[in-house]
Amino acid sequence: QSVLTQPPSASGTPGERVTISCSGRTSNIGNNYVYWYQLLPGAAPKLLIYRNNQRPSGVPDRFSGSKSGTSGSLAISGLRSEDEGDYYCAALEDSLTAYVFGSGTKVTVL
Amino acid sequence: QVQLQESGPGLVKPSETLSLTCTVSGGSISTYYWHWVRQAPGKGLEWIGYVYYTGGTNYNPSLKSRVTVSLATSKNQFSLKLTSVTTADTAVYYCARSDTDMVWAFDIWGQGTMVNVSS
């Protein structure tokens, strides 16, 4: 069972905006940054968001992150078919001194 | 452009040791953190541990008693050893990199290698 809770699925039509939540506790998201990763079929995982809302170079500005209290969220605007895949949040867990991932959300483009 | 490539046996017997290597190409293994992450079939991602370019390590407490991550700097490689494996260790294993000022932002990943634990 993951320490960080995400909805198992999210979907939208091309061009729509989809938001994925990541719920944690004070000991993880509350005290630390949130990160987001994208896993597409047949591809290496990709860092989408670091330090709550920062995008690495090369990541389109369609992807945005935010954090409030013990929850983080990832928004994908202008949804495209190539965005279909799995998305994971992550954060440092103070009680374990370990990096923990969320349960993952499968995004489907209808 | 830095690339990571995992290699190692795809099949390991229960109770034996799983050994994987990650080869870093297009850049130096110095001044970064080098991580291992796995994903069991149908499950989410799990961080295993890291080695810093100085040789310092940090492991997931759930695996700490069985894990060793080490550097082979002259070969520009780092490795994972997981002892006393069980079928629960069957997973895709990824190696990844993070920078010194952003330890937990894994900016480059390998494609992953599937390891089955079975007799």
pLDDT digits 0-9 by tens, A76-103: 999 999 999 999 999 999 988 899 999 9
* Alpha carbons B56 and B54: distance in angstroms, whole number: 6
- Candidates A91, A96, A101; nearest CB to B44: A101
Q: Does the beta-carbon distance from A88 to B105 stay under 8 Å?
A: no
Predicted confidence at residue A14, as pLDDT, reads 97
pLDDT at B83 over 90: yes
* Alpha carbons B85 and B65: distance in angstroms, whole number: 12
The residue assigned the tokens 């130096």 is B28
CB B43 within 8 Å of CB B24: no
| SS3 of residue A44 by DSSP | coil
User: In sequence order, what are the beta bridge partners of A102?
Assistant: A4
Chain B residue with the nearest C-alpha to that of A95: B61
pLDDT digits 0-9 by tens, A43-65: 999 999 999 999 999 999 999 99
The residue assigned the tokens 């709550």 is A52
pLDDT at B101 over 90: no
| SS3 of residue A23 by DSSP | strand
For residue A107, name the pLDDT band (cuts at 50, 70, 90).
very high
B22 has a chain A CB within 8 A of its CB: no
Give B102→chain A minimum CA distance, Å.
9
pLDDT, average across residues A25-53 = 96
pLDDT, average across residues B58-83 = 96
For residue A3, name the pLDDT band (cuts at 50, 70, 90).
confident
Question: A13: closest CA among A92, A78, A61?
Answer: A78
Q: Does the beta-carbon distance from B61 to A56 stay under 8 Å?
A: no
For residue B109, name the pLDDT band (cuts at 50, 70, 90).
very high
pLDDT digits 0-9 by tens, B2-18: 999 999 999 999 999 99
Token readout for B116 is 């089955």
HSE-CB at B86 with a 13 A cutoff on CA atoms is 3
Q: Does the beta-carbon distance from B47 to A104 stay under 8 Å?
A: no
Predicted confidence at residue A42, as pLDDT, reads 86
B109 has a chain A CB within 8 A of its CB: yes
- Candidates B61, B102, B109; nearest CB to A50: B102
HSE-CB at B7 with a 13 A cutoff on CA atoms is 8
Nearest-Å Rg of the Cα atoms of chain B is 13
pLDDT at B97 over 80: yes
What amino acid occupies position B42? G
* Phi, psi for A51 (deg, rounded to 5): 50, 50
Q: Considering only CB atoms, which chain A residues are within 8 Å of B96?
A: 45
pLDDT, average across residues B16-24 = 98
- Candidates B58, B61, B109; nearest CB to A44: B109
Question: B60: closest CA among B87, B100, B89?
Answer: B89
Predicted confidence at residue B30, as pLDDT, reads 87
Predicted confidence at residue B39, as pLDDT, reads 96
Burial class (CB in 10 A: 0-12, 13-18, 19+), A8: exposed
Q: Does the beta-carbon distance from A44 to B111 stay under 8 Å?
A: yes
A residues 37-76 lying closer than 8 A (beta carbon) to B: 37, 39, 43-47, 50-51, 56
Predicted confidence at residue A13, as pLDDT, reads 97
